[in-house]
Structure 1
């Protein structure tokens, strides 16, 4: 498995909407979220809410077979993936098809 981390901003005025979205993904739509990850090759994903000087960021940690999960996600045309991308675009003003680029790994230490 390979590890990836990336972040996206959340506007202060959209924080409550984003938290409701995260709750929906983690509860009533969790089985669809799990199925999507199986399709795209992701085995673990964690979301962290980071307060910043300009608002908040969602910091995402993902474990996947390889970096092709980003392309697989962009190409996944399932109803859930389409809903997920539309919600992110609506709440965070981010087009995940265009703006989901994995940052360069600089340090990865383990014991």
Structure 2
């Protein structure tokens, strides 16, 4: 069975163009590195851009055997791609992925598939 977690991160005010440039690079010249990184962590990551009246947000979903554990794996990786990724998340979202995430993990509060909540 696969587990799933989702979280949202704001794009820091004034960083929208930098974020777009970073994600353009992530989807092109760095895409193979991104895919390899997530395979090593045994997760499937999806990222959504959400424009809101309060500013742009990024919604990230992680799916796999241990998506919460992927954060610890990411923090412990010292390869060039991971360092680049963590630095950009910190610069563009204000979150340091090399440290434990602040606060409790996101909590799923409703799911249209009752069998998911029962497991």
Instruction: Quote the Cα distance in structure 2 between the aligned partners of 1:5 and 1:33.
Output: 18
Q: Which segment is superposed worse, 95-104 or 24-33? A: 95-104
List gaps (5 residues or longer) in structure 1.
Answer: none
Residue 79 of structure 1 corresponds to which residue in structure 2?
A: 80
List gaps (5 residues or longer) in structure 2.
Answer: 115-119
Instruction: Verify the 8 A CA contact 2:12 2:94 in the aligned structure 1.
Output: no
TM-score by length of 1: 0.87
| Larger radius of gyration between Structure 1 and Structure 2 | 2
Residue 113 of structure 2 corresponds to which residue in structure 1?
A: 110
TM-score by length of 2: 0.81
Residue 15 of structure 1 corresponds to which residue in structure 2?
A: 16
String of CA shifts for 1:8-30, please: whole Å, max 9, x gaps: 11124111110111111111001
What are the within-5 Å matches in structure 2 for residues 1-111 of structure 1? 1-42=2-43, 44-66=44-66, 67-98=68-99, 100=101, 102-110=105-113
- The structure with higher relative contact order (CA 8 Å, sep 6+) is 1
> 1:75 Cα deviation (Å)?
1.2
Cα RMSD for the two superposed structures: 1.8
Question: Matched residue of 1:97: which SS?
Answer: coil
